[in-house]
Chain A
Amino acid sequence: MNGSAANVNRGQANIVGAKRGTLSLVIEEAYLLMGVMAIAFVSHTYNMFNYPLYLGDEGIYMEQAWSVLTDGKLSPYTYFYDHAPVGWFLLAWWGLLLPGKLLAFGMAINSGRVLMAVLHVASTFFLYRTTKKLSGSDMASVAASIVFSLSPMALFYQRMVLLDNIMVFWILLALYLIVVHGDRVLTLIGSGFAFSMALLTKENAIFFAPVFAYIIYSNLKGKYQFRFSAVGWMFTMLAIVSLYPIYALLKSELLPSTLQGLGSSQSPGERVSLIGTVIWQMGRSQGSILDPNSLFWEFSLRRWWPKDSFLVAIGFASVLVALLLGLHERKHRKGLLYASLLSLAYIFYMARGSVMLEFYVVPLLPFLAMTIGMMMARIFQLFPGRLIQTSVFTIALFAIVYGSVQASRDHYTLNLTQVQHNQLQYIRENISPDAIMIVDDDLWVDLHDGGKNYPSYPNAHSHWKVTGDPEIRDKLLKNDWRNVDYVIVSNKLPETLQINGEKLVQDAIANSTLMARFEKGDVAVEVRRVNKPGRTPPAQTPQRGTTPQRNR
């Protein structure tokens, strides 16, 4: 489009030629874009209801979305500001659109996974266009989108219903609006809105904020609309984020109930509060990058490396090279610098040593992919001639595609969630709806909401809440495992219980008999009945003040 404007003085023929050139480029890009979006869609949807295993965390977000839809509450249990709720608002809104609500695709988590696939396709669009705009290269944008969609590690986590995936969608949207449509104030305001959604979905998006500020500054400085755009972004972002503490204030849950709550690293007490939770979170550390036993190294070496050594090795190497190259050429080309800074901002978050789960790597993945794509394009541009460049690039891309698909065969073929389907089926057929059950969150919504055909189990409670929520632990169970009828477990659960010291649940399991067990590979799930040799009377003075353990 700019090309045709620049050619105005060169006569009519040139204008037409330039327009045609631009048009064919637009069409070419449209084909590429549709191609990578199709790959993104197929890779993320094919077999997605079967693999990976339904994770407890996915269940938690689904149950909170369910609670929004059915009760108009932020959580079926006491909401204690562990996360801002916009992520599951989106899930709830999605459920509202679906004809069968959250059960539209079978088990509840499935409907969440469909949304994740939709968001991923949208995220791929944003990533493609942003990378293209920053690098000017189709190679870079195609490679980035392919790595983002096919990398085994990305595929594994991005299929799951995780707040991180929703946050990535908002972050990429915010970035896209700045980079691709930054010439208008309204788009910057839109970007600020998207960034606030990211923050209110998962607060660690805050680590991207300094880089975003830098990108806005360096992209718009000196332009006519700079002041209004920058201030518009910032104001919108802060204004919307501020609604969260205002919500807490209106509920009288902003400040901790006691002054001891401030400044102590103790868990939030009986009365929940936003500030209390934030302070408690900041006090939790599991070792920084300097500590060889920290989770950063644990996950890097034991979980991420085996899943996807290509992405980890090439990704981190690209980030370092891109940073050096980007700093060197920052005057005239910003792409590499932006991509590497965005990656580094999040690596910094992970490396500084807070509580971490293995899927916390998710927000880093699009930016690793972007950096890899840009670096690949830079390397292949060193080859002489467009034909050779394209050929070499295509071969390399096919190698990546082939390697990725090979490495993620399980994703496309294995049916792991079958065990959870069977487990659910067994409960529905063998356990009465009024039974008191301890469950992991993966089955929670399906147990509480049987739809038209199945009963609901109002007394099926998450083991986290059995341990941490006084409403369940003290009032319902009287702090006594003997008041539990059934425990629904997976073979991964005992380790979690051990780490978090969930004594009541452990006791219940220890005093239970196996009713059913479903296995596949190294996954096994069980239904157990608690043995009750003559119930003891309920505890007179329930112990109070223990920790709600699930907090991510």
Chain B
Amino acid sequence: MTILILGAVIFSILLSAQAAYTIYLMIYTWDRPEAYKRAKAPEEFLPPRKTFTVLLPARHEEDVIQDTIERVVQISYPRELVEAVVICEAGDTGTIAKAEEKIVEMRGRGIRHVGLVTFNDRPINKPHGLNKGYAQTKNEVITIFDSEDEIHPDILNIVNTVMVQEEVNVVQCGVQLMNYETNWYSTLNVLEYFFWFKSRLHYHAKNGMIPLGGNTVFFTREVVDRLGGWDEKNLTEDADMGIRISVMREKVRVVYDDRYVTKEETPPTLNQFIRQRTRWNQGFLQTLRKGDWLELPTMDQKLLALYTLAFPFFQSLLGLYVPVSFWMMFNVKVPVLSAIILLIPMYFLMAHYVINVVGLYEFAEAHGLKPSLAMPVKMLIAYMPYQWALGFAAVRATVRELRGINNWEKTAHVGAHRQGSVAAVGVNPNYGKGS
């Protein structure tokens, strides 16, 4: 029994230390306002100089793809400096048809810089699509937008200015979930994004070890070439890309400015939320196993990478710790000092909740929203279930990774895969040879 208590005490201390660190990363930019100021978007834009390639990987997005294309077209940047391609797997005829329809319609309006790339080889996943699209394009700066993204029209002006002014080759701009009132987990999910992009990524960028996001991220073609494109076996090709860029000691500029964030929504159902999270966690574990992070220049960076990529483990531990420690409190006779130490992770959990509530008001202020007074209470009720959902996704990801299941779960819903001919519509003669 003594050994059990001792183990629990040590575990509780380690858990507290990691919780303190996580919490610090959440409030990093508020603690270091100068870091945040540095990360703001420029107030004045330089004249357009860079040329951009917008990759729009899409799968079963027939409902929204036309809007997505329209939004890209509406970006306030000279059209002759932009090329955009929708990337679809050849069997996704629904999306392809809608995209083609839109492209034809735009040609009627004299808009000719959007094309379509399809591919019919495996694997059917986002990194593969990105590589295909990348090969068919030529502009200097590559970026990715997801179909559901609501992009700010000035985003390319910002990146053009930052890249020219600061001579950086990689820029990650803010992505923000917005629907904080839709369902029980959306508030906490929205805030996770908020803290991740507004605070934590700045810490990563400063320390030269950054897992990039999946969209609104910008690379020069030269960087992508050096990296050899996206890792098609990785479920989080974006984070993996960030690690490899860090290994190359390429500076990453993070721009998070509440005014210019790319807006997204939380997954509509808990099921999808858990699937999405499982995929991310498993992708992190894959990146961890791949071991590129071991080539990071300094030990601090290696540890930060290890901590970030292995975080799903910690998360599931914390989720499990609460019930276990409650059980111990009532069922094991523990010396007073040990009992107090066993309680400390709970304090960090409380602190984490409180920081989320403060974050809610920061978020609301930044976007001109007014959260209801009941919101903190709702968050409190949802808080533990949310942690358990995350913990469940983490355990699930670990199991899947250990059993070697690494398909994109999104494909599980897809009907029979069709080996069809390439459907191609494009202004650029290079478009459409996607195979």
Contacts and interface: CB of A to CB of B under 8 A. Distances in A.
Nearest to A242: B347
A227 B362 CA distance: 8
B30 A185 contact: yes
A239 B361 contact: no
7 contacts: A186-B24, A225-B31, A225-B33, A227-B358, A227-B362, A231-B354, A251-B336
B27 A235 contact: no
A223 B340 CA distance: 36
A57 interface: no
B230 interface: no
A250 B31 contact: no
Given A186-B31, A239-B351, 12 more contacts: A183-B33, A185-B27, A228-B27, A228-B362, A229-B30, A231-B355, A232-B27, A235-B354, A246-B343, A250-B336, A250-B339, A250-B340
B431 interface: no
Determine chain A's interface SS by DSSP, over half rule.
helix
Contacts of B340: 243, 246-247, 250
Nearest to B348: A239
B378 interface: no
A48 B161 CA distance: 67
A184 B336 contact: no
Contacts, number: 43
B405 interface: no
A224 B336 CA distance: 41
Nearest to B36: A224
Contact of B358 (A228, A239, A243): A228
Interface residues of A, number: 18
A232 B32 CA distance: 15
Contacts of B27: 185, 228, 232
Nearest to A251: B336
Interface string B343-367: 1000100110011001001100000
A229 B24 CA distance: 13
In the A-B complex, the 4 residue pairs with the closest CB atoms? A185-B31, A228-B30, A225-B30, A250-B336
A183 B37 CA distance: 14
A118 to B, nearest CB: 27
Contacts of A231: 354-355, 358
A201 to B, nearest CB: 18
A224 B33 contact: yes
B383 to A, nearest CB: 15
Contacts of A250: 336, 339-340
Interface in A214-247: 224-225, 227-229, 231-232, 235, 239, 243, 246-247
A528 B358 CA distance: 65
Interface string A176-198: 00000001111000000000000
A224 B39 CA distance: 14
A243 B341 CA distance: 10
Nearest to A187: B31
Interface string B32-52: 110010000000000000000
Contact of A239 (B33, B336, B347, B355): B347
Contacts of A243: 340
Contacts of B354: 231, 235
A436 B376 CA distance: 61
A243 B346 CA distance: 12
A251 B347 CA distance: 20
A184 B32 contact: yes
A267 to B, nearest CB: 25
A272 to B, nearest CB: 15
B357 to A, nearest CB: 8
Contacts of B362: 227-228
Nearest to A243: B340
A239 B350 contact: yes
Nearest to B365: A227
Interface string B9-43: 00000000000000010010011110010000000
Nearest to B335: A250
Contacts of B36: 224
Contacts of A183: 33
B351 A184 contact: no
